[in-house]
Amino acid sequence: MNKQECEQLIEEYLAWLRKGLKAERLDQACELTTPFLDRHNDHIQIYALKKDGKIELTDDGYIMSDLRTSGLEIKASEKRQAILEAVLNGFGVRLDKNRLVVEASQSNLGQRVHSLVQAMLAINDMFVMAQPRVVSFFLDDVQAFLDNNKIRNSPRVKLSGRSGFDHTINFLIPKSTIRPERFIQAINTPSKGMISAYIFGITDIREARKEKSEAYAFLNDSERQVGGELIDALEAYRVKPALWSNRNQYITELHN
């Protein structure tokens, strides 16, 4: 893709985002409906309320409550709590009782909305399990795969894009003498929303860094098949769709 095509992608993504955003007033708060979908195919919603001279953005407890009703209790495991804290810290979001919360001002409101939505998608995806008794998290599996095969990596790297938005990448493999830097995202429940967000993030980062890079999406196909439409979308924007069932075929190229 040339520079003009890359810039057009950003414009088309932002146009899709604007078209899918809806705002309604609820008492003293605003309800913002986004085009991103959760695992139930419901649109993710966030709420904004002016508080002490700032704007508080929150999911009003939706994500954590949904995970609990699905049979996943975060507090039951120190490991789960540690993973949750790492995700929240990566996006600059805090947990207030049951709510995901981030504070914003007029000058950084767009970035803070973006961070909260990313955190909601990441937590929803990371902790979704096909069966309540499954104890392994996909992100852990990908980390173990990289470590066991001695693939050097930096986990949870935050990078800025041309748009000014920050994007959190699960793993960054620094460039070597023969390979460029590589980005890896672990996607537990592949969906249009998750794939679209990753494609936008990678394209935005590439535009800002102005250097050659490779991107991978590790897709968990352990419990379900990953549709061809998602694969085609990734390949169209130079992201390698790495099915978890075929992960061993990527060891050499990630190791170099």
Total count of domains within the chain: 2
Q: Is residue 133 part of a domain?
A: no
Per-residue confidence (pLDDT) for residue 185, from 0 to 100: 95
Residue 143 to residues 62, 139, 152, 180, 185: CA-CA distances in angstroms? 28, 6, 10, 20, 11
* 115 and 7 assigned to the same domain: yes
SS3 at position 176: coil
Whether the per-residue pLDDT at 132 is higher than 90: the answer is: no
Contact residues for 128 (Cβ-Cβ < 8 A; gap 6+): 39, 67, 70, 188, 189
Report H helices in the chain.
3-20, 62-69, 78-91, 109-127, 138-148, 192-209, 228-236, 251-255
* 145 and 215 assigned to the same domain: yes
Decide: 83 and 135 in contact? Cβ < 8 Å: no
* 121 and 185 assigned to the same domain: no
Pick the last residue of a domain from 127, 146, 166: 127
* 167 and 68 assigned to the same domain: no
Q: Would you state the structure tokens that stand for residue 41, as one six-digit string?
A: 């195919």
Cα separation, 69 vs 55, whole angstroms: 29
SS3 at position 26: strand
CATH of residue 187's domain is: 3.40.1350.10
Pick the last residue of a domain from 88, 103, 127: 127
Q: Is residue 199 part of a domain?
A: yes
User: In terms of Cα–Cα distance, which of 254, 246, 161 is closest to 214?
Assistant: 254
Range of the domain at 84: 3-127
Q: Would you state the structure tokens that stand for residue 251, as one six-digit string?
A: 């060891």
Per-residue confidence (pLDDT) for residue 134, from 0 to 100: 41
* 24 and 53 assigned to the same domain: yes
pLDDT digits (tens, 9 = 90+) for 214-256: 999 999 988 778 878 899 989 999 999 999 999 999 999 999 8
Q: Would you state the structure tokens that stand for residue 30, as one six-digit string?
A: 């605003």
Question: Cα 200–167–256 angle (5° rounding)?
Answer: 90
Pick the last residue of a domain from 127, 147, 166: 127
pLDDT digits (tens, 9 = 90+) for 78-130: 777 888 888 898 889 999 989 999 999 888 888 899 999 999 988 887 665 43
Bridge partners, 103 (sequence order):
56
* 171 and 198 assigned to the same domain: yes
Q: Would you state the structure tokens that stand for residue 86, as one six-digit string?
A: 């790492």
